[in-house]
Structure 1
Amino acid sequence: MSQNSSMPANPGINLRGAVDLSALKNRSAAGDGAAGGGSPYAVDVNEQSFQEFVGLSQRVPVVVSLGSGRSNQSAVLNRVLERLMNDFGGKIALGRVDADTNAQIAQAFGVTVIPTVIALVKGQPVPLFEGDMPEDQIRTFLDELLKVAASNGVTGSLGGAPGAEPAEPAPLPPLHQAAFDAIEAGDLAAAQAAYEKALAEMPADADAKVGLAQVHLMRRVADLDADQAEALRTRAASEPDDAEAQLAVADLDVTGGHVEDAFARLVTYISLHFGPEREIARVRLLELYDVVGTADPRVAKSRQALARALF
């Protein structure tokens, strides 16, 4: 499919890559943490920003506090956690999630009690506790979390003391920067070429693989207007065996933020079909996992469903 140079540089897709850790402090300094008492190592996380926050767990363990804006218990717990984040000096990050308005995150973790606190290390959940907990016991949990993180090679820091100037983010590798610049300019073909060259030079370059998957998706949907998208959805609904239509609608769902719908559509297609079409759908689904982020809990859930469909 040809590129459309007039398309937005980023049509609803989060361009993954190295997470700018200083952004955590910048958001807090701008007032993000003021509602909960304040910490430069705590942010409010929603369904749109959750993937980026999970990415931090490759560098430092992150704590996810799932509460409710209607719960005083949640507010008190978050203030305690924020104080502890300051005490740990950036060795742990805190994400506050309002489960009322971000139900998908709560569902992904199987949360039934509010508040619930869960940690993530390299994208993998580490259950901590539910409900009330004395501050000294929470501190003990966090001490143990740091040990678990260290045993998995996660020993980074967000850096700096509260109020300190954030460090400049590390520059992207040249080919990654070229790809990013090309995306910003709307030149998706050039972005694809840059990522392909990066992978040819270093096949294990995970960020280039993800970037390439995102550019592939962007190119597939670039020329579709609203009428064409609606026609594809109608076709997919009336012709469940039409692989091309099912794949196209899955692309549209991911770009529109309906990730679970996209995954479920392709898993269902895979479970009901065999032969080359099934393999094409499986490969496309794996690529969409890369687009969304393999640490995303929705990906982990879909992988389980895919395994059942295949075996």
Structure 2
Amino acid sequence: MPREGAVVMATIAERPLKSPAAARIYRANSFWIKATVTMPIVDPRTGEPLTTDTSAGEPSAGPAQGQQADVVLDVDRSNVQQMLETSMQVPVLLDCRSQGEAASQQLSQVLEKLAREYQGAFLLGRLDIDQEPEIAAQLGVQAAPDVKLISQGGLVDHFQGALPEKQVREWLGRYFPAPEEAPQAPEDQAAEALAAGDAATARRIYQELIQQYPQHTPYQVELARALVADGEADQARELLDNLPPEERDAAPARGVRASIAFGEQAPSAEALAALGDRDDSEAQFQRALRQLADGQYEAGLEALLALMKRDRAYGEDAARRTLLQAFDALGADHPLTVTYRRKLFALLY
């Protein structure tokens, strides 16, 4: 809802769209947002409001593609109005930052990198809230970093906190097409390495990400996952135990703990060989555990489901309980979880 005293612009669908990027923004929001709140900025020196002058004709063109030196603008009280006027043609991503905050400086580096990568799809404005506290207060900034997307003189969206680069890219993706030659995110590189069996590379990437974002606990959970894959279950367990309570008991951490449990419960290679051609319920269960511990989830899930059909009472419903552990290990949205949870439901009901 608009803040008290704020000026409400016309319905988004009725606003003239002057650039493809602006059009993308308004299309993305038009079904959900009926009005945009203009930025009621007052010049601290004069008390006069700084608003976009739409009667002065077409504003100067925004940064052209390839002119990378022009995609970053330092904003202060002398050019806030220019920034608003520029946003009538080219969206402005305003980085409200503090030079004294390491997290804020880190995010600023990420935003500048992305602004150059997007090559003029938006202009990056940088406002030092320590130098311009009055302007920051009027923009509703309580702490840095605070990033605001401004288009047509109005606030479209914002986020607070030093998000990792991948999350900033996802946020920008709501409004702008991804650059054609966008580099692969390090999180995706780590996931691919882990899927390919290269746990050492995944460990290195997540360790580097944790150094950059020590408060981002999902990276610690993923590092624990890589440690399990690399045969370091004790280190993984210690890392999980040191997470904040709300993260320690969340689904991703539970999934890694389930992977650790599979490794501890599964038979060794010698014990597996000793089973020979046995086809009883115990042998079938032990083979399924080994498959889960080795990351052969589909084969393990299929074996557990077959065991449930064959001998539901085995091990006090051990097959069903282990299936649920496997779902935790994979995550609720994993295709195998979705498929086998449906099969389990059909079998039970």
Q: Would you say same fold, with TM above 0.5?
A: no
Q: TM-score range by the shorter chain?
A: 0.3 to 0.5
Between 1 and 2, higher relative CO (CA 8 Å, sep ≥ 6) is seen in: 1
Q: Which structure has the greater CA radius of gyration? A: 2
TM-score (norm 1): 0.39
More helix by proportion, 1 or 2? 1
TM-score (norm 2): 0.35
